Every structure is written in C-alpha cells, then in structure tokens.
Amino acid sequence: MNIWLASGNAHKKLELEAIFRTKGCDRDTVIRVPADAGIDSFDPPETGSSFVENALIKARSLYRILKEKQPSSFRDPVLADDSGLCVEALEGRPGIFSARYGAEDGRKLEAAERNALLLEELAARLESLPPEKQNRKAHFVCAMVLYYSQERFFIAQETFEGELVDTIGSGRGSGGFGYDPILYIPSLGRTAAELSEDEKNAVSHRGKAGKAIAGFLASR
C-alpha cells in the first residue's frame, strides 16, 4: 500500500518511516512524497487557525491533485501533519506560524535564525513579566491526519513538553531539525536534538501522533 505524505520534508518522511516500522505496519507499506507523482512544487496556503485545520488543508490539497491525475483508480490514503512550537510566556506563539516565524518579504528564515530570534523575543518578554509569571516552558504540537476522502479521515494530535534554553549558545545537538536544539527536556537532561532517533520517536509529538495513526493501520 502507498501512503502519500503531504510534504516534501525529507526529515518528516524518515521519521514517519521509522515510526511505522516499529508499529508493525505491513512491510509493503511505502510512504511516498509529492515528487514521486511528478508534483514538483507542493506548498498549499496554510490558512487554518489550528494545527488540525492546516493538516486537513494539506491532506485535501494533495488528495485532490492525486485524484485528478488518476480519476478512476486512485485509492491511496494521504498522510498530512502540521506541527509547531508553542511558548507559554508568548501566549502560545509561534504556534501554527512556527515555520514562518520571523519571515519578511516572503523570505523564510533559516532554522538557526528563527531559533535566535525566538530566544531574543522570549528574553524581552520575560523582562516585562513579574517573577512569578516568568518561565521558559514550551511544547511542540503535532496534528496528524490520515485522509481517505472528504467524508472519511482520522486525526491524532499530541504534544512534546520541555523548556527553552537560555541563549542560542546553550542550544545543543545535531539531530532532528528546526527548533529541536533549543528545546530542553528536563526529564531526559538533553535537548530534543540530542536524542537518538528511537528515543525521539518514543516521546516526541510527531512520534506519538504517528504511532497512533500507524497503530490504526496495523490493526486493519
């Protein structure tokens, strides 16, 4: 069975492949990306007001494109997710705008630039708060959709709790991507970027949501 991932992000594809393997999905299950269907550019406008809404936008968009290519024979499900980092002291920002945080004139910042900017904003915010409200708590959110049709889809949403490091120089680790180097996990004593693939998939937002979806597929 093919599962079409509504993303060209190679990191997401690798993570999901590993998650699906550990949950006992059919060995013939193959995760494919838009480029595998000759779709050179897939970047639908994320106009939703929540992670779930944006995940559904991506799933529906790719499903529609693939259905148009194979109007009578397309039966594969589409997998889409939307994820981001929510910082408590910033009232949940950047949230659904995590990938576009700090973007100007259409240019997205590189991950290191976004991370530095977020830590600077948090520092400025904490200075304006009374001591009892100052904290660096943050969590990742992942909403994942397995989409079969307009009337039939399954959703899992999970979180990954931690706290932001003090400065960009305190960020550690070369694994993962995005905000991983600056999210410290107190219970593990490491940042998300310092976790091995198996460790991260066991506790991360995408790992837990992916396992819920993969468990559903394995039980069918």
Instruction: Give the residue extent of every domain in the chain.
Output: 2-219
What does the pLDDT read at residue 133?
Answer: 86
What does the pLDDT read at residue 183?
Answer: 98
> If you search the block for the tokens 């399954």, which residue do you land on?
154
Say which DSSP state 1 is in.
Answer: -
What does the pLDDT read at residue 137?
Answer: 98
pLDDT digits (tens, 9 = 90+) for 172-218: 998 878 999 999 999 999 999 999 988 998 999 999 999 999 888 87
3-state SS, residue 157: strand
Residues 80, 58: contact at Cβ < 8 Å? yes
Catalytic site residue from 43, 82, 105, 198: 82
| DSSP assignment string, 86-111 | EEGGGTT-BGGGGGGTT-BTTBPPPH
What is the C-alpha to C-alpha distance for residues 11 and 15, in angstroms, rounded to an integer?
6
Q: Indicate whether this model's pTM tops 0.85.
A: yes
Residues of the chain whose pLDDT is less than 70?
23-27
Q: Is residue 82 annotated as part of the catalytic site, yes or no?
A: yes
What does the pLDDT read at residue 27?
Answer: 66
3-state SS, residue 74: coil
The topology (CATH level 3) of 2-219 is Maf protein (3.90.950)
